[in-house]
Amino acid sequence: MLIITVLVSLAIIIYAIIKFDIHPFLALFVGAIGYGLLAGMPGELILKSIEEGFGAVLGRIGLVILLGVIIGTFLEKTGGAFVIAQRVLSFIGEKSVMLAMMITGWILSIPVFGDSAFIMMNPINKSLSFKGKLPYAATTVALTLGISSTHSLVPPTPGPIAAAGILGADLAMVILWGMLVSALALVPCFYFVKYYVARFELAPRYNENEIVVTAKKYPSLGKSFLPIVLPLILIVFASIASYPTKPFGEGWLAATLLFIGNPVMALLAGAFVSFLLPEKFDRQLLSSSGWIGDSLLVAAPVILITGAGGVFGKMLQNSGIADLVSTNLSNANLGLLLPFLMSLALKTAQGSSTVAIITTASVIAPLLSTLGLDTDLMKVLTVLSIGAGGIAISHANDSFFWAMTQLTGMNIKLGNQTHSLGTLILACSAFVVIYVIALFG
């Protein structure tokens, strides 16, 4: 009955989001309380689960999500992301537009939200496909798949950061393995785009009101990359410093690296560096009505959804679900497949990768030891399995799907035949890579 209660609670949450357009935060939060009541938990334990679940999760990752969004906002609004995109395109060359679009999307979606990355790149995509006489549908899907891969697999995008925090996975390892998995998973997607999607005809739609970067002077390439690279380097060095072998010793150097390499401090450093990107710095940018205010508006819903997911996870843990699942799934050997399939089902059902990833991580967290996923490496691979599932299937209930179809002139059928199918291939490819790593890890 407890497992049935979990499934019923998840079904109600998804139905509330899809059918009644209820915000995922409210649906998750009320759904968690409803699960506790249906599971017969005493009132005191339900209240304790709310306090511990919300506070513990946001205490670890709330600021990390916000700081990551601030970096992305400054990169987007100053044209720093545009500079990175142009350099990638010039390096690869206009003759390899599909590959260039895929790699550019892969890079930009690490600091910038997927929808924004696509809106920013679509005018360039149109121009290059037209000049190179290449199929516009193919270059477009190459871009969307590149964006989708890192959006769900590589921090500091909110989904992977939240999942790493909920599951207690090492963030530096999630970043490094996530970059490798997302890159390898795109290999079959490139051939899918080149030999399948390229057969579909699509004429570029030109919109006079298309959003473009309006900065008078773009920052340099070095400046543009620094807010992304600096936090990653600091986090990686802190992870190395914490190895049992103590490669940096146990003195002031190790202590300093562990402090500045903490995800909050590392991303704070990246945020401060991003303040150098505007051509002329104005303190108004840091006000509630400036770019910091814009960042808060973007980050707040994600942070609240993450907190509600933490409440759901703690409610599951305190209800004794882990022991029950252990009894029923001890011989099933599902391992990494369970979080992958659960995330894929949630993404397909309600459309948001972030909601699917956070919800799945919250459900899986109490089951890590039961599923044999409680080692350091397996926690990282669990985060990536959840992220892989959160890629697919992007279709009509996904805002990214509509941004892509409306800006390019694709109809829904063509979008499903190309982009939606591509996300399924990408998700499955990523999981295969993750599974191979688990076998030899």
Closest by CA position to 401, among listed 362, 355, 350, 343: 350
pLDDT in tens, 290-349: 889 988 988 888 888 878 888 887 887 788 765 665 556 545 567 899 999 989 988 887
Angle between helices 43-78 and 158-167 (to 10 degrees): 150
Q: What are the C-alpha distances in Å from 337 to residues 63, 341, 348, 372, 384?
A: 30, 6, 16, 12, 11
Give the torsion sign (CA, 215, 217, 221, 223). Answer: negative
Percent of the chain with pLDDT over 70: 94
Rounded distance between C-alpha atoms, residue 354 and residue 163, angstroms:
9
Residue 109, token pair as written in the block = 């979606």
State pLDDT tens for residues 381-419.
Answer: 999 999 999 999 888 778 788 888 877 888 889 999 999
Question: For residue 249, what are its two tokens?
Answer: 């010793």
Please give the structure tokens belonging to residue 92.
């690869």
What are the sequence ranges of the domains in the chain? Answer: 53-307+373-440
Residue 26 has pLDDT above 70, yes or no: yes
Alpha-carbon distance of 242 to 69, in angstroms, equals 27
The residues, ordered by sequence, that sit 6+ positions from 251 with a Cβ below 8 Å of its Cβ are: none
Crossing angle, helix 171-195 and helix 221-241, to 10 degrees? Answer: 130
| b/e sequence 103-128, b meaning 16+ C-beta within 10 Å | bbbbbbbbbbbbbbbbbbbbbbbbeb
pTM of the model: 0.79
Q: How far apart are CA 309 and CA 314, in angstroms?
A: 9
Decide: 173 and 160 in contact? Cβ < 8 Å: no
Contact between residue 167 and residue 382 where contact means Cβ atoms under 8 Å apart = yes
CA–CA distances in Å: residue 318 to residues 143, 164, 315, 410: 43, 21, 5, 47
Distance of alpha carbon 285 from alpha carbon 217, whole angstroms = 17
Hey, what amino acid is at 312?
F
Closest CA to 239 of 324, 164, 310, 159: 164
pLDDT class of 212 with cuts at 50, 70, 90 = very low
Among 59-68, 187-196, 197-206, top mean pLDDT goes to 187-196
pLDDT of residue 218: 83
How many residues are given for the chain? 441
pLDDT at 375: 92
